[in-house]
């Protein structure tokens, strides 16, 4: 495809990497149906087109830094940088218009045959680096990776301009190498984005969004996984008169109380087990009772809630026994909680 000059190797690797990035974004679009990934994928495929132009031109004629395909690579790099920025900040219309304008300008100037315009696309690369470091860096969560990609963008512009002026093979190789390294770090930014989405999805699937405690499903699975172990206890808390609080003072007040109670349960069971929101105003905890009395923990929770919040809690405690299934252990604590609630509230039954 290419003549075989050494400086074409990084360009070939860059083309493959851009296509991989584009395919990854299309795959994310088909699975998540988010138009952001479609737009980023289309931008990346468009950025790959100048590499195809170079491949075709290399068959027809020798490639120099003044060849249209090489000049269009500046447009590709700005397009890739714009796509990565849009991936993390899809609501920033101002910067989207700026990237679009620069891409159009560099694309048009690449076709101007006059030598005085040959350097302008490389100036845009250097200017884009400065603009990115001043205006965009705070909008990107992966700041170190983004800074490195901008560094290689600047080096690409500098070596590209130098290679255009001198036509030295060494500078042409450095130009294509820095270009490839910039794309590598953009690829890493995409991988970080995907990893963060996976972590976020995993986190939200097991955590209650209001209290930050684990949810009922995760809690039940954890209890089930340890039902054969000795020294497992369940503490089942229910906020007293919670419906009345919501009706008289509003759901915002109810949420605030729920969060405070959840934090107290979490603090008192920290390093002993795990706490979860079981449903509504019910907060539960599974603790290992090898070195602690679960009733003492429950009573501490009960006293702290009464002292630190505007509500009280009724608490039930159950201790694991041989042959007792996980759902039975939870149900036993639930019944003890109901016993506490019907016999006066603000107390612990075990």
Q: Above 70 in pLDDT, residue 218?
A: yes
Give tens-digit pLDDT for 170-201: 888 888 899 999 999 999 989 988 888 888 77
Q: Compute the average pLDDT of residues 8-22.
A: 87
Report the pLDDT value the prediction gives residue 95, as an integer from 0 to 100. Answer: 73
Give tens-digit pLDDT for 220-230: 888 888 877 77
Give tens-digit pLDDT for 298-326: 999 999 999 998 899 999 999 887 667 88
| pTM, full prediction | 0.68
Burial tier of 36 (Cβ tally within 10 Å: 0-12, 13-18, 19+): middle
Q: Above 90 in pLDDT, residue 235?
A: yes
- Which is more confidently placed, 244 or 99? 244
Band (137; pLDDT cuts 50, 70, 90): low
Q: Above 50 in pLDDT, residue 3?
A: no
- Which is more confidently placed, 62 or 270? 270
- Which is more confidently placed, 122 or 238? 238
Q: Compute the average pLDDT of residues 332-339.
A: 92
Q: What is the mean pLDDT of the chain?
A: 85
Q: Above 70 in pLDDT, residue 1?
A: no
SS (H, E, C) the chain: CCCCCCCHHHHHHHHHHHHHHHHHHHHHHHHHCCHHHHHHHHHHHHHHHHHHHHHHHHHHCCCCCCCHHHHHHHHHHHHHHHHHHHHHCCCCHHHHHHHHHHHHHHHHHCCCCCHHHCCHHHHHHHHHHHHHHHHHHHHCCCHHHHHHHHHHHHHHHHHHHHHHHHCCHHHHHHHHHHHHHHHHHHHHHHHHHHHHHHHHHHHHCCECCCCCCECHHHHHHHHHHCCCCCCEEEEEEEECCHHHHHHHHCHHHHHHHHHHHHHHHHHHHCCCEEEEEEECCEEEEEEECCCCCHHHHHHHHHHHHHHHCCCCEEEEEEECCCCCCHHHHHHHHHHHHHHHHHCCCCCEEC
Q: Compute the average pLDDT of residues 151-155.
A: 91
| 287: β partners | 233, 273
Q: Above 80 in pLDDT, residue 284?
A: yes
Give tens-digit pLDDT for 65-78: 777 878 888 888 88
Q: Above 60 in pLDDT, residue 121?
A: yes
Among 62-66, 146-150, 267-271, name the one with the lowest average pLDDT. 62-66
Among 17-21, 38-42, 104-108, name the one with the lowest average pLDDT. 104-108
Q: Compute the average pLDDT of residues 279-304.
A: 89
- Which is more confidently placed, 58 or 157? 157
Contacts of 238 (CB under 8 A, 6+ apart): 281, 282, 283, 313, 314, 315, 337, 341
Q: Above 60 in pLDDT, residue 132?
A: yes
Report the pLDDT value the prediction gives residue 172, as an integer from 0 to 100. Answer: 85
């Amino acid at each position: 495809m290419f003549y075989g000059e050494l400086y074409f190797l990084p360009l070939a690797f860059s083309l493959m990497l851009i296509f991989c990035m584009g395919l990854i974004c299309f795959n994310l679009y088909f699975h998540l149906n988010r138009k952001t990934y479609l737009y980023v994928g289309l931008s990346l495929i468009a950025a790959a087109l100048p590499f195809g132009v170079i491949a075709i031109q290399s068959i027809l004629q020798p490639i120099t830094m003044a060849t249209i395909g090489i000049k269009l690579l500046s447009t590709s790099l700005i397009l890739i940088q714009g796509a990565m920025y849009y991936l993390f900040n899809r609501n920033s219309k101002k910067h989207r218009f700026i990237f679009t304008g620069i891409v159009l300008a560099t694309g048009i100037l690449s076709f101007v045959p006059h030598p005085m315009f040959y350097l302008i696309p490389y100036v845009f690369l250097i200017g884009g680096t400065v603009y990115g470091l001043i205006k965009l860096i705070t909008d990107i969560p992966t700041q170190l990776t983004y800074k490195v990609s901008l560094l290689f963008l600047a080096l690409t512009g500098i070596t590209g301009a130098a290679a255009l002026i001198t036509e030295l093979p060494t500078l042409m190789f450095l130009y294509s190498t820095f270009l490839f390294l910039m794309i590598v770090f953009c690829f890493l930014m995409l991988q970080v984005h995907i990893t963060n989405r996976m972590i976020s999805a995993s986190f939200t699937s097991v955590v209650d969004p209001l209290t930050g405690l684990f949810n009922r499903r995760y809690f039940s699975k954890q209890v089930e996984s340890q039902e054969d172990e000795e020294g497992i206890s369940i503490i089942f808390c229910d906020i007293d008169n919670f419906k009345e609080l919501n009706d008289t003072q509003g759901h915002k007040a109810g949420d605030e109380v729920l969060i405070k109670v959840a934090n107290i349960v979490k603090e008192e069971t920290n390093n002993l087990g795990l706490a979860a929101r079981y449903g509504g105003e019910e907060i539960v905890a599974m603790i290992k009772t090898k070195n602690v009395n679960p009733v003492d923990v429950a009573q501490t929770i009960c006293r702290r809630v009464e002292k630190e919040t505007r509500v009280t809690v009724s608490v039930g405690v159950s201790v694991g026994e041989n042959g007792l299934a996980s759902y039975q252990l939870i149900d036993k604590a639930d019944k003890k909680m109901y016993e506490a609630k019907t016999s006066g509230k603000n107390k612990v039954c075990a």
